[in-house]
């Protein structure tokens, strides 16, 4: 099947599958499928009333975070918005802990006190999960500031959407990140709709990575429905940051199949538009084809992976249903830290 980019531009990176190993392809397939099945299950549990409030699904965007995580090393940090479930699974957080947080239970990553939009893991260097659009951008630059201050070569991935790209604090952050050569990769996940407003309806400057030029930050647009293209661009960005050359911007062109949140009827785009993306550009189908056509895997191999993933997701859902609600005493805990936070610089140093 001919592959067309999510939106056509000249700057997109094409990736040839020839230099990619079978194991890598299988890993991307697995990781992306885990996110998709997990999110479908989350949607189902929301429908059953087991998950409340806001719940923003990542279905359709899986290749972005899976492609970039493939370029990270131990110690690298990541931070994102409220559409965060995929990022957590991709950086190795347990499906059980994420799902149990969605159901507001004791076994969740935040003991049920954060919910879908606010989850964290010191161990996996995942700094949230932020509910205020674009707040994670300066926070991410701050994480990178800490790494530069401590003199290590870690980088930070700061993910945000095309909607957040119109917030003023993004540009204050661009300015300081470049001024101080902070090792941060600004990843704009351009899924083309800020809730119900398309990029074209919110700006005339629609090439979002290009806004970095005003501050001297290099960047590029990437086909976000192609995990290999994302990875290739990510490697370039990471190399730039690790070499101490300052920040880099990746505008990853992607698409969310579901509404902005569970309660979004998505009337701002046609059903045909969504279906066309699913049929022609699906990132998981793409890797599936590469695996089958390259004779890297058989239908049966992939079925076995599908089953494994389904088991992990079902197990996480069971855990999230069985885990008790937090004890009422938890209402009054974690408001203030008594001691040095775990994983602090003094401990790390």
Is 75 an interacting residue with respect to another protein (CB under 8 A)? no
| Other residues' Cβ atoms within 10 Å of the Cβ of residue 295 | 8
Is 346 an interacting residue with respect to another protein (CB under 8 A)? yes
Of the residues 75, 244, 294, 341, which one makes contact with another protein according to CB under 8 A: 341
- The residue among 52 and 244 lying less far from another protein, judged by its C-beta, is 52
Is 314 an interacting residue with respect to another protein (CB under 8 A)? no
Is 196 an interacting residue with respect to another protein (CB under 8 A)? no
Give the Cα separation of 139 and 137 in Å (integer).
5
Give the Cα separation of 15 and 5 in Å (integer).
12
Closest CA to 165 of 250, 91, 227: 250
Q: In angstroms, give the least distance from the CB of 1 to another protein.
A: 18
Of the residues 122, 201, 276, 307, which one makes contact with another protein according to CB under 8 A: 122
Give the Cα separation of 211 and 162 in Å (integer).
12
Phi/psi of residue 157, each to 5°? -100, 115
Give the Cα separation of 254 and 340 in Å (integer).
40
Is 337 an interacting residue with respect to another protein (CB under 8 A)? yes
Q: In angstroms, give the least distance from the CB of 2 to another protein.
A: 22
Phi/psi of residue 293, each to 5°? -65, -35
Structure tokens at 328: 């009422």
Of the residues 213, 299, 308, 325, which one makes contact with another protein according to CB under 8 A: 325
Per CB under 8 A, contacts with another protein among 208-247 are none
Of the residues 26, 139, 195, 292, which one makes contact with another protein according to CB under 8 A: 139
Residue 157 contacts by C-beta under 8 Å, 6 or more apart in sequence?
A: 68, 72, 76, 77, 78, 79, 140, 184, 185, 187
Of the residues 30, 87, 130, 256, which one makes contact with another protein according to CB under 8 A: 130
Q: In angstroms, give the least distance from the CB of 37 to another protein.
A: 9
- Residue 20, sorted as left (phi over 0), alpha (psi -120 to 50) or beta, turns out to be beta
- Give the distance, in angstroms, between the CA of residue 185 and the centroid of all CA atoms in the same chain: 13
Per CB under 8 A, contacts with another protein among 52-71 are 52-54
Is 121 an interacting residue with respect to another protein (CB under 8 A)? yes
Of the residues 3, 75, 132, 216, which one makes contact with another protein according to CB under 8 A: 132
Per CB under 8 A, contacts with another protein among 243-282 are 257-259, 262-263, 265-267, 271, 278
Q: In angstroms, give the least distance from the CB of 283 to another protein.
A: 14
- The residue among 9 and 321 lying less far from another protein, judged by its C-beta, is 321
Show the DSSP H helices in the chain as ranges.
22-47, 62-69, 85-90, 95-102, 136-150, 168-179, 199-202, 227-242, 271-281, 283-293, 299-322, 345-348
Q: In angstroms, give the least distance from the CB of 263 to another protein.
A: 4
Q: In angstroms, give the least distance from the CB of 132 to another protein.
A: 5
Give the Cα separation of 347 and 294 in Å (integer).
47
């Amino acid at each position: 099947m001919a592959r067309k980019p999510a939106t056509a531009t000249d700057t997109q990176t094409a990736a040839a599958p020839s230099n990619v190993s079978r194991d890598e392809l299988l890993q991307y397939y697995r990781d992306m499928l885990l996110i998709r099945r997990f999110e479908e299950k989350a949607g189902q549990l929301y429908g059953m009333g087991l998950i409340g409030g806001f719940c923003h699904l990542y279905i359709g965007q899986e290749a972005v975070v899976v492609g970039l995580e493939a370029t990270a090393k131990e110690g690298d940090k990541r931070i994102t918005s409220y559409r965060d479930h995929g990022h957590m699974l991709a950086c190795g957080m347990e499906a059980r802990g994420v799902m149990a947080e969605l159901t507001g239970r004791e076994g969740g990553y935040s003991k049920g006190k954060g919910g879908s939009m606010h989850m964290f893991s010191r161990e996996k260097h995942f700094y949230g999960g932020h509910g205020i659009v674009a707040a994670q951008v300066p926070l991410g630059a701050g994480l990178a500031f800490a790494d530069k201050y401590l003199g290590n070569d870690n980088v930070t991935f700061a993910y945000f959407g095309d909607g957040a790209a119109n917030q003023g604090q993004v540009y204050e952050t661009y300015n300081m990140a470049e001024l101080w050569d902070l090792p941060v990769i600004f990843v704009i996940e351009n899924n083309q709709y800020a809730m119900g407003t398309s990029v074209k309806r919110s700006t005339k400057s629609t090439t979002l990575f290009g806004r970095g030029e005003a501050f001297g930050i290099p960047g590029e647009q990437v086909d976000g429905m192609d995990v290999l293209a994302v990875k290739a661009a990510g490697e370039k960005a990471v190399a730039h940051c690790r070499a101490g050359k300052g920040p880099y911007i990746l505008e990853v062109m992607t698409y969310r199949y579901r509404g902005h949140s569970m309660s979004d009827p998505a009337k701002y785009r046609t059903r045909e538009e969504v279906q066309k993306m699913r049929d022609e550009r699906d990132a998981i189908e793409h890797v599936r084809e590469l695996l089958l056509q390259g004779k890297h895997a058989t239908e049966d191999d992939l079925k076995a992976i599908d089953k494994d993933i389904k088991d992990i997701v079902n197990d996480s859902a069971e855990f999230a249903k069985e885990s008790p609600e937090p004890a009422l005493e938890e209402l009054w805990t974690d408001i203030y830290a008594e001691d040095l936070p775990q994983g602090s610089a003094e401990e790390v140093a």
